[in-house]
């Protein structure tokens, strides 16, 4: 067999293999994708970026103010009796899924310090610490439901939607 004949037979064999492997393949119709539909990725933003109305902004900022006050009211008798006697609330923040309004997570961040004065030199030494306390939210909690549940004068003790827990419970587990 000549080299040319060998090459022609090889090409015919490869062609038939290629065609047979395509025989079972579906050819997409024009305008119809053979790929599964793409799902839009979730997108989370800070609660302040999620709110659309003045009432929502006002409810959020009032809630944060009441949480700070509730914490200040109990700090000396509870969390602030340990190594860090001056714990301060820094911020309460939540992430919200932009399309659904479902809360991704809420964290309440605290900072604390303990200071010592050297009686011989007057030098002050400090120990500092921060805490990021996760709120015990139920999966699927919406920002609207959270704002409603925490709307009263003592949001620290209000039952969170879909749970038997409060934000205070989350602090006990954290601080």
Residue corresponding to tokens 């659309």: 52
For every residue of the chain, DSSP letters joined together read --HHHHHHHHHHHHHHHHHHHHHTSPPPPTT--SSPPPPPPP-EEEHHHH--SHHHHHHHHHHHHHHHHHHHHHHTTTGGGSS-S--EEEEEEEEEETTT-BEEEEEEEEEEEEEEE-TTT--EEEEEEEEEEEP-PPTT-BHHHHHHHT-SS-GGGSPPTTSS--HHHHHHHH-
In whole angstroms, give the CA distance from residue 146 to residue 133. Answer: 17
The residue ranges of the chain whose pLDDT is under 70 are 1-38
Q: Would you say 50 and 143 are in contact if contact means Cβ atoms under 8 Å apart?
A: yes
Q: For residues 111 and 87, give the distance between their C-alpha atoms in angstroms, rounded to a whole number.
A: 6
Residue range 47-95, pLDDT digits in tens: 999 999 999 999 999 999 999 999 999 998 888 888 888 899 999 999 9
Q: How far is CA 34 from CA 27, 28, 83, 146, in A?
A: 8, 6, 62, 42
Spatial distance between the Cα atoms of 86 and 20, rounded to a whole number of angstroms: 77
Please state the pTM of the whole predicted model: 0.75
**φ and ψ at 93, to 5 degrees?**
-130, 145
């Amino acid at each position: 067999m000549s080299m040319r004949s060998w090459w022609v037979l090889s090409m015919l064999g490869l062609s038939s293999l290629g065609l047979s492997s395509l025989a079972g393949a579906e050819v997409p119709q024009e305008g119809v994708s053979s790929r599964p539909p793409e799902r839009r990725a979730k997108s989370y933003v800070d609660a302040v970026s999620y709110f659309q109305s003045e009432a929502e902004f006002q409810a959020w900022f009032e809630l944060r103010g009441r949480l700070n006050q509730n914490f200040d009211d109990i700090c000396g008798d509870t969390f602030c009796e340990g190594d860090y006697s001056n714990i301060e609330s820094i911020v309460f923040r939540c992430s919200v899924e932009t399309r659904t309004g479902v809360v991704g997570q809420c964290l309440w961040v605290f900072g604390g310090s303990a200071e010592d004065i050297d009686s011989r030199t007057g030098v002050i030494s400090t120990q500092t610490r921060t805490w990021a306390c996760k709120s015990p939210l139920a999966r699927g909690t919406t920002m609207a439901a959270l704002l409603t549940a925490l709307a009263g004068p003592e949001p620290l003790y209000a039952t969170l939607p879909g749970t038997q827990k409060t934000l205070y419970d989350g602090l006990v587990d954290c601080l």
